[in-house]
Amino acid sequence: MNNPAGNAAMSQRTPFNQPKTARGEATKKAILSAAERVIGARGYNDASIGQITSEAGVAQGTFYIYFKTKEEVFSELVLEMGRLVRHTISDATQAISNRLEAERAGLMAFLEFVQAHPDLYRIVQEAQFVDPDAYLEYYSAFAEGYRGGLREAAQAGQISEGNSDTRAWALMGIARALGEQIVVFGNKTPIPDLVDTAYDLIANGLKP
Amino acid sequence: MNNPAGNAAMSQRTPFNQPKTARGEATKKAILSAAERVIGARGYNDASIGQITSEAGVAQGTFYIYFKTKEEVFSELVLEMGRLVRHTISDATQAISNRLEAERAGLMAFLEFVQAHPDLYRIVQEAQFVDPDAYLEYYSAFAEGYRGGLREAAQAGQISEGNSDTRAWALMGIARALGEQIVVFGNKTPIPDLVDTAYDLIANGLKP
DNA sequence: AGGAAACATGAATACTGATTCATGTTTCAT
DNA sequence: ATGAAACATGAATCAGTATTCATGTTTCCT
**Residue-wise pLDDT tens digits, B167-202:** 999 999 999 999 999 999 999 999 999 999 999 999
pLDDT digits (tens, 9 = 90+) for B106-138: 999 999 999 999 999 999 999 999 999 999 999
**What are the chain B neighbours of A139 within 8 Å (beta carbons)?**
185
pLDDT of residue B107: 98
Q: Taking CB atoms and an 8 Å limit, are A207 and B100 in contact across chains?
A: yes
pLDDT of residue B7: 37
Residue A202: name the closest of B129, B160, B189 by CA.
B160
Gyration radius from chain B CA atoms: 19
pLDDT digits (tens, 9 = 90+) for B47-88: 999 999 999 999 999 999 999 999 999 999 999 999 999 999
Q: Taking CB atoms and an 8 Å limit, are B166 and A194 in contact across chains?
A: yes
d(CA A134, CA A78): 7
Check: CB of residue B108 under 8 Å from CB of residue B191: yes
Whether A58 sits with its Cβ under 7 A from any strand D atom: the answer reads: yes
Q: How far is CA B64 from CA A166, A195, B54, in A?
A: 44, 48, 14
Q: Which of B180, B206, B207 to mutate to test the interface with A (most CBs of A within 10 A)?
A: B206
CA contacts within 13 A on the Cβ side of A187: 19
Looking at every residue in chain A, the average pLDDT score rounds to 92
d(CA A206, CA A22): 56
Distance from CA(B60) to C1'(D16), angstroms, rounded = 16
Which pLDDT band, with edges at 50, 70 and 90, does B12 fall under?
very low
Q: Report protein residues in contact with nucleic acid strand C, where contact means CB under 7 Å.
A: A 21-23, 46-50, 60-61, 63-64, 69-71; B 17, 19-21, 23-27, 58-62, 64-65
For B169, which residue in chain A has the nearest alpha carbon?
Answer: A177
Check: CB of residue B67 under 8 Å from CB of residue A173: no
* pTM for this model (two decimals): 0.92
pLDDT of residue B178: 98
Q: Taking CB atoms and an 8 Å limit, are B207 and A208 in contact across chains?
A: no
pLDDT of residue B76: 96
Q: Taking CB atoms and an 8 Å limit, are B103 and A206 in contact across chains?
A: yes
pLDDT of residue A11: 41
pLDDT digits (tens, 9 = 90+) for B23-37: 999 999 999 999 999
Distance from CA(A22) to C1'(D10), angstroms, rounded = 24
Q: Taking CB atoms and an 8 Å limit, are A166 and B176 in contact across chains?
A: no
Distance from CA(B57) to C1'(D7), angstroms, rounded = 52
**What does the pLDDT average to over B3-13?**
38
Neighbours of A7 (CB within 10 A): 8
pLDDT of residue B4: 34
Distance from CA(A62) to C1'(C24), angstroms, rounded = 14
